[in-house]
Amino acid sequence: MSTTRHLDLEFGGSALRVSLPGNADILRLPAVPALRDPAGAIRAALAQPLGAPPLAEIAAGKVRAKGGASAVIVVSDQTRPVPYCGPDGILEPVIAILSAAGVRQITILVATGTHRAMEADELRRMLPESVFRAGIAVVNHDCRDAAALRRIGTTRRGTEIWLNRRYLEADLRILTGLVEPHFMAGVSGGPKSVCPGLVGEKATYVFHGARMMADPRSASLRLEDNPCQEEALEVATLAGVDFIVNATINRERRLTGVFAGALVTAHRAAAACVMDESVIPIAREYDVVVTHAGFVGINHYQAAKAAVEGARAVRAGGTLILAANHTDREPVGGADYRRLLPLLSELGIDALERRMLEPDWTFVPEQWELQMWGRALRKLGRPEGLIYCSPQLTGATFKGLPGRDGGTGLAGLVGRDLAEAMVQRALDETLAANPGASVGVLADGPYGVPRVATPATPPPRIP
């Protein structure tokens, strides 16, 4: 009987073939069937929404009131696998309803938050070709362009909110997005399209500030008392939202649900499904966990999501092996993130976070992701407990990053072959040094949330 088993680990558009010990546990999300008639489900959701009139009725009312209304449809950027195109596409039916109602101007607004602007080729891959044939304007939000922002008020936490002017000036405001686990805000989608998606950079000083990121309630699959979710909802309410179209997908990235209607009602309905479908019960924590950065892991900045969720399954002091295919033009991340990363190595996460919490600390955009890396590193207990396996970040390009470079000494290999060799060697050497170590593999990367199943563990709650 073979003492090994094999698994194809997701790696961008391909897979890494990994040999595992026979007793390794492969941890997967629950199997959720795709919708049999996704187009029909989308039409039904728009015609019979949750907590709101049908989109066609809302659009017609705006047209009558304005004599020909304008609409803005907010979309996510390339870091989220939102089904905008193809048979599961949620965007074209929305545009068709607006056009039939007589909406005179439609703008698609990309909620980039503090991320870089999407380039033309990236937009064409993400959005239906019909958008471009129809000449619909597609605009990237720019959180640093003061002229493109307008002040709308202050939140209870003292955040002064400047918001995208195009959004505010539209007669009809529609949010679209994907609802999935989010390691800070509980789940994605809903109000996050507005905050942080469309706010000015300074709003993130509170929304992603050191104090909020250090709060243990800012965590995956938690909405109740989650300060990130509360702040996002308050900002979105101040901004005004007429309608949302949120989707859920399964591990094959096929559409499993469409939740359209009022901001809170539709988003909470989607969140309830995600709470049920995203937890991976585990009987114990593992000595070694293998995971991947998933679709979202286009760079090191985004790969923190996989590290945080993967660390949930690792015992204190264990080893996390993380594979990542960084396809972004900046494989590490933005300039601010790159500038701060050396401090994580120099000071350590505890000292760095204490410094961030001091009154005289000058907020640096994207500092929050270092705190998220800190969550994983604290669990591992030592930097070398993280073995990072990315062919784009190895050798000189890995300098200053947390953890251990999985590619050291692997000459002559590139791309997928290099990544596969990285993961296999990391696993083999770790097991050789720790005979009998338990191994868990998070086959779905950052999209599953491991949770030790005990009688005392309460189910996730939706307020």
DSSP string across 81-95: ----SGGG-SHHHHH
- Which residues are 160's β-sheet partners? 154
92 and 155 belong to one structural domain: yes
Domain span at residue 448 reads: 4-29+283-452
Q: How confident is the model at residue 276, as a pLDDT?
A: 85
**Of residues 37 and 79, more confidently modeled:** 37
- How many CB atoms are closer than 10 A to CB 40? 11
Alpha-carbon separation of residue 436 from 124, 381, 406, 428 (angstroms) = 49, 20, 22, 12
CA atoms within 13 A on the CB side of 403: 32
Alpha-carbon separation of residue 134 from 79, 95, 99, 128 (angstroms) = 25, 10, 11, 11
Q: How confident is the model at residue 66, as a pLDDT?
A: 85
212 and 311 belong to one structural domain: no
361 and 431 belong to one structural domain: yes
Fill in the amino acid letter for 462.
I
288 and 222 belong to one structural domain: no
Among residues 233, 261, 277, the one where a domain terminates is: 277
Q: How confident is the model at residue 40 (pLDDT cuts 50, 70, 90)?
A: very high
CATH of the domain at 10: 3.90.226.30
Tell me how far apart the alpha carbons of residues 217 and 231 are, in angstroms, rounded to a whole number.
Answer: 13
98 and 177 belong to one structural domain: yes
pLDDT tens profile 52-81? 999 999 999 999 998 889 999 999 998 888
Q: What is the DSSP letter of 50?
A: B
Q: Say yes or no to pLDDT of 460 above 50.
A: no
**Tokens for 77?**
């950027």
CATH of the domain at 137: 3.40.50.11440
Q: How confident is the model at residue 461 (pLDDT cuts 50, 70, 90)?
A: very low
**Of residues 200 and 4, more confidently modeled:** 200
Q: Does residue 224 sit within a domain?
A: yes
CA atoms within 13 A on the CB side of 438: 14
Q: How confident is the model at residue 110 (pLDDT cuts 50, 70, 90)?
A: very high
CA atoms within 13 A on the CB side of 221: 21
Q: Does residue 443 sit within a domain?
A: yes
Q: How confident is the model at residue 204, as a pLDDT?
A: 87
Sheet holding 286-292, edge to edge: 25-27, 439-442, 286-292, 314-323, 386-389, 404-405
Q: Say yes or no to pLDDT of 85 above 90.
A: yes
Q: Compute the CA torsion angle 85, 88, 92, 93 (nearest 10 deg).
A: 180
51 and 137 belong to one structural domain: yes
Q: Does residue 266 sit within a domain?
A: yes
310 and 231 belong to one structural domain: no
142 and 216 belong to one structural domain: yes
Q: Does residue 118 sit within a domain?
A: yes
Q: How confident is the model at residue 423, as a pLDDT?
A: 98
146 and 221 belong to one structural domain: yes
Tell me how far apart the alpha carbons of residues 37 and 54 are, in angstroms, rounded to a whole number.
Answer: 20
- Of 6, 40, 49, the C-alpha closest to 266 is 49
212 and 318 belong to one structural domain: no
Among residues 254, 277, 300, the one where a domain terminates is: 277
State the total domains in the chain: 2
102 and 188 belong to one structural domain: yes
Tell me how far apart the alpha carbons of residues 345 and 348 are, in angstroms, rounded to a whole number.
Answer: 6
239 and 370 belong to one structural domain: no
Q: Does residue 345 sit within a domain?
A: yes
Q: Say yes or no to pLDDT of 389 above 80.
A: yes
Q: Say yes or no to pLDDT of 1 above 80.
A: no
Q: How confident is the model at residue 206, as a pLDDT?
A: 85
pLDDT tens profile 220-238? 999 999 999 999 999 999 9
How buried is 10 (Cβ within 10 angstroms: 0-12 exposed, 13-18 middle, 19+ buried)?
Answer: buried
- Which residues are 255's β-sheet partners? 249
3-state secondary structure of 176: strand
Q: Does residue 140 sit within a domain?
A: yes
Q: Does residue 438 sit within a domain?
A: yes
Fill in the amino acid letter for 449.
V
Q: How confident is the model at residue 350 (pLDDT cuts 50, 70, 90)?
A: very high
Q: How confident is the model at residue 462 (pLDDT cuts 50, 70, 90)?
A: very low
pTM: 0.87
Alpha-carbon separation of residue 24 from 3, 6, 225, 389 (angstroms) = 10, 10, 36, 20
- Of 247, 254, 426, 251, the C-alpha closest to 324 is 426
Q: How confident is the model at residue 2, as a pLDDT?
A: 47
Q: Does residue 161 sit within a domain?
A: yes
pLDDT tens profile 407-442? 999 989 999 999 999 999 999 999 999 999 999 999
Average of pLDDT values for 236-253? 95
Among residues 277, 302, 334, the one where a domain terminates is: 277
What is the pLDDT of the chain when averaged over all its residues? 93
